[in-house]
Structure 1
Amino acid sequence: MGTRRYVSRVFCQQASVLKIVSRNITAAANPQTNLDFLEGQPHKRHPGISHLKTLRLPEEMQTAARSIIDRAQVTQLPDRTLKLTNFLWSRKRAVEDFTLRQKALSLEKKLWKKAVEKGDNMDNHVVLEGVQREVFSELRRTIYHWTPLKYNEELGVVYMASRMAGGYAAVRRALNEIKKRDPTFAPHSLLDFGSGLGTVAWASHFYWADTLKEIVCVDSSGPMNILAERLLKGDEEHAPSHIKHVYFRQFLPVSPKVQFDLVTSAFTLSEISSIKEREEAVFTLWRKTSSYLLLVENGTKEGHQILMEARDTLLQKKEERVYDSRPASVFAPCSHEKTCPKLALMPALPCNFRQKYMPLNGHNSQIEKFSYLILTRAPPPEAKSNMSVEWSRLIASPQPRTRHVHCRLCCPDGQLKHVVVTPRKHGRDLYRCARSSEWGDQLPLIPDEEDNDMIQPDVEDNDMIQNDSE
């Protein structure tokens, strides 16, 4: 009996040694298992995590907003909030004049050809007038009619009831990316272009209340500026502002040499009618930026493409006069500076993210879908300088299965990949991090040749991404 116990103990010890050796061999073969990437953090809070739990508006902001809405007594408020939400979500860019002329000429040629083929013995002038009427009718029917939104006090209150909580959640989530990845960043000044109800001021105050000494909110709508100030004062005219050093303007500061540590613009570029005007606005905001520029739009195809226009403008085009020679580089969400691979999908899909939040009425959490872009003048933060691998971004919800996790990633090489993460192939630490991550987080993962390329995804992948993105 003693001999049997001894032999059994020896076999167990040998098995344990083999497991340790096997694990070490796997780690040596896969640099992704480098334990340094955890930086001493548990798997559930690894450095790549940037998602947030369900967000709520600050208590002071909620109280003031409810007071303003009650006093306004807007008729049919629930119906109007739903109508405004749907309008803003379905909003598209205005059709450029060049595109409109090209389409008109193409239609005119097509209709003229049909008229000639009919062989009607009619005066050419009469035929031309008929063709032009048909062209105008077809353009009115098929072209998106973009109209500017002009906010008066009543429409501002409707916007407050419908979009303030979701907008705050999107901005908080985007700012958290900077706070998490660059903890040394301590802005003293902030410029918010298209500030609306001041949600950026509240969200930035949450992260940098101790250092922010100047917040300049710029919005062309006087009534919106008044509502934003009422929110800061708790809807009491003579009360002190909850956030100090907030200044409201209707125009951007004139001097191009005046810069701010952090410049933001949320859901504003989509309110600019032409690509040329948006380009000028982006250049102006970049001139005002000394460290970070944050742009946020709806998580639709239009919102994403507006951000990609801005990205291309700052990365590929040059200003006539440069006041700050430090170049722009992408900080988030992209893990590269190549053309967005989602635009190459058929059909093209938006790169968007989700943030759960509680609406102003406090009933049932909702999800805000948004797209964002952060550019920086500063060199990449040193938080990841000790990493031996690069980080990829999860562009869809991970799908945990038994002993493996399906991850859809945007990788540093500019490719979309479907990676099946397993403890055997990628190491126990990366596997557990993948199971703890959510859509929008990062993973220290370099896919190999065996991983599926998603540039032309299969039907299952495409359906999954489509459902997640829309």
Structure 2
Amino acid sequence: MATAWGPKWLRMLSRWRRGLRVAPQSRALGALVRGVTRVDNRDDFLGKRPHRRHPGVLRLPCVRPPRALADAAQLLLLKNAVPGMEKQVQTLTNYLWSRHVPVEAEELQRRAAGLEKLFLETPDLSQTEEKLRGAVLHALRKTTYHWQELSYNEGLSLVYMAARLDGGFAAVSRAFHEIRTRVPEFQPQTLMDFGSGAGSVTWAAHNAWGQSLREYMCVDKSAAMLDLAEKLLKGGSESGESYVPGVFFRQFLPVSPKVQFDVVVSAFSLSELPSKAERTETVQTLWRKTNRFLVLVENGTKAGHSLLMDARDLVLKGKEKSPLDPRPGFVFAPCPHELPCPQSTASRPLACSFSQGYHPIPFSWNKKLKEEKFSMVILARGSPEEADRWPRITQPVLKRPRHVHCHLCCSDGHMQHAVITARQHGRDLYRCARVSSWGDLLPVITPSEFPPSSAQDTPDS
């Protein structure tokens, strides 16, 4: 008997015990997605394609900025030697990533009133008005985030270009890829970029729809940024032919309400606005100027996600109907619904974010592959029935022996932790889940799409 339990048999026993250990969990969590028992094959969506290319796959391979853009950026840094550029880039990157939403004046007043009441109840504090005001201001400075508006002059614009041009290009490219993949017949002719900065949106849009786009409107209040973006398009010089034709630069949004664009983009720009009132006015203006898609992108942080959810709610719940374009709006991506975001309303709120790999512009300090973590919301004009309502995978997929863990945002507005196995859910669904990635859509029929009797008849495990 001793020889029967050699290394080979011990390895087999270990694998068998691991299987036993995960099976009960698999059955328990699988019950959370009662009704998710098969792929959505109503239109024979796979056809002759392999599972790894199912229509919910939206991953974009590691992107690389166009060679012309990389060369122009490197040339501009050589021409304009900025001392300590690497350190400045790191400082600005950290600052932008850690940025919070600015505190509103009403909230400051409320906090000040609370602190004043607290100090008045403190017996050892002298109650002179001047000292009380000083104590309140001192406490506010220590406990309140100090939001500061950045003024992009020529020097800071160069630092921003070196820090954010390639990462911004990667994030916006992923957002455009979502539209191109799901609506391949969409061929926009006009695009407006609010807060255009160094022009990463223009380059990404040209890369995606260069054959059809004939007009790019870049809007940024910083004249230095507009000048830098134009130089990048001209190969790093002030003269010459633009790499992307049909690009126009403005410091203010077009005034006429009749002017609309097929695609309107705001990438990392809502976080640059100092108040909720200004953000509200800006989002409403951008939506009025949207003919088909409004693409909003921010950092993949709680603050960035919060800004996007406010903008999303503003468009979906907006009572203002433009007489020039009364078509309603719906969420094209990433949410498969128009309900409150389950990530935001959870007991421990999380940012709904995604990740895109990219090759950075090869500055001397910047040569390894990078990941851009970002949040996005794509709003569209029309009817929600025009879009797929498959669940969105909101976290990295965990692949384990004979089962797969997927965290899904479903069309009923709830998050589900699905453990999918071939035995319980079928070979097609299991293989589709196994080849899917964070950010993909899982082509399944969710419980809300089943008749009540079907869901009730589904076994628990």
What's the TM-score once normalised by structure 1's chain length? 0.84
Aligned partners of 1:188 and 1:214 also within 8 Å: yes
User: Which of 38, 41, 58 is the equivalent residue of 1:34?
Assistant: 41
CA deviations on 1:263-283 (whole Å, 9 max, x unpaired) are 001000000011111010000
Aligned equivalent of 1:168: 169
- Offset at residue 381 of structure 1 (A): 7.7
Aligned equivalent of 2:28: none
- Offset at residue 160 of structure 1 (A): 1.1
Specify whether residues 381 and 216 from structure 1 end up closer, same or farther in structure 2 by C-alpha distance, changes over 3 A only. Answer: farther
Moved >6 Å (runs of 4+): none
User: Which of 92, 96, 101 is the equivalent residue of 2:100?
Assistant: 92
User: Which of 82, 85, 98 is the equivalent residue of 1:74?
Assistant: 82
Letter in 1 for 2:422: P
Separation of aligned partners in 1, 2:245 and 2:73 = 19
Specify whether residues 395 and 320 from structure 1 end up closer, same or farther in structure 2 by C-alpha distance, changes over 3 A only. Answer: closer
- Please show how residues 131-170 of structure 1 align to structure 2 within 5 Å: 131-170=132-171
Aligned partners of 2:168 and 2:200 also within 8 Å: yes
Give % identity. Answer: 49
Aligned equivalent of 1:102: 110
- Offset at residue 382 of structure 1 (A): 5.7
Aligned partners of 2:292 and 2:381 also within 8 Å: yes
- Offset at residue 223 of structure 1 (A): 0.8
Separation of aligned partners in 1, 2:312 and 2:179 = 18
Aligned partners of 2:193 and 2:219 also within 8 Å: yes
Aligned partners of 2:298 and 2:374 also within 8 Å: yes
Separation of aligned partners in 1, 2:36 and 2:410 = 20
Aligned equivalent of 1:364: 368
- Offset at residue 320 of structure 1 (A): 7.2
Separation of aligned partners in 2, 1:136 and 1:382 = 53
- Larger RCO, structure (CA 8 Å, separation 6 or more): 2
- Offset at residue 38 of structure 1 (A): 2.2
- Please show how residues 388-467 of structure 1 align to structure 2 within 5 Å: 390-446=389-445
Aligned equivalent of 2:206: 205
Specify whether residues 379 and 345 from structure 1 end up closer, same or farther in structure 2 by C-alpha distance, changes over 3 A only. Answer: closer
- Please show how residues 295-444 of structure 1 align to structure 2 within 5 Å: 295-319=296-320, 322-361=323-362, 363-379=367-383, 390-444=389-443
Specify whether residues 204 and 321 from structure 1 end up closer, same or farther in structure 2 by C-alpha distance, changes over 3 A only. Answer: closer
Q: Which moved more, 1:354-363 or 1:261-270?
A: 354-363
Aligned partners of 1:33 and 1:427 also within 8 Å: no
Aligned partners of 2:40 and 2:445 also within 8 Å: no
Separation of aligned partners in 2, 1:424 and 1:158 = 55
Separation of aligned partners in 2, 1:383 and 1:411 = 14
CA deviations on 1:346-375 (whole Å, 9 max, x unpaired) are 321100000011111261111100000000
Aligned partners of 1:182 and 1:381 also within 8 Å: no
Aligned equivalent of 1:48: 56
**1:242 correspondence with 2:209:** no
SS of the residue corresponding to residue 37 of structure 1 reads coil
Separation of aligned partners in 1, 2:131 and 2:240 = 65
Aligned equivalent of 1:273: 274
SS of the residue corresponding to residue 122 of structure 2 reads helix
SS of the residue corresponding to residue 340 of structure 2 reads coil
SS of the residue corresponding to residue 344 of structure 2 reads helix
- Offset at residue 49 of structure 1 (A): 1.1
Aligned equivalent of 2:265: 264
What's the TM-score once normalised by structure 2's chain length? 0.85
SS of the residue corresponding to residue 344 of structure 1 reads coil
Aligned residues: 410
- Offset at residue 323 of structure 1 (A): 3.0
- Offset at residue 316 of structure 1 (A): 0.9
Specify whether residues 143 and 55 from structure 1 end up closer, same or farther in structure 2 by C-alpha distance, changes over 3 A only. Answer: same
Larger radius of gyration: 1
Separation of aligned partners in 1, 2:238 and 2:278 = 37
- Offset at residue 230 of structure 1 (A): 0.8
SS of the residue corresponding to residue 443 of structure 1 reads coil
Q: Which moved more, 1:344-353 or 1:285-294?
A: 344-353
**Could you list the runs of 5+ residues in structure 2 that have no partner in the other structure?**
1-34, 449-461
Aligned equivalent of 2:22: none
Aligned partners of 2:36 and 2:447 also within 8 Å: no
SS of the residue corresponding to residue 407 of structure 2 reads strand
CA deviations on 1:176-222 (whole Å, 9 max, x unpaired) are 11000011110010011000111111111111111101110001111
Aligned partners of 1:41 and 1:47 also within 8 Å: no
- Offset at residue 248 of structure 1 (A): 0.6
Letter in 2 for 1:183: P
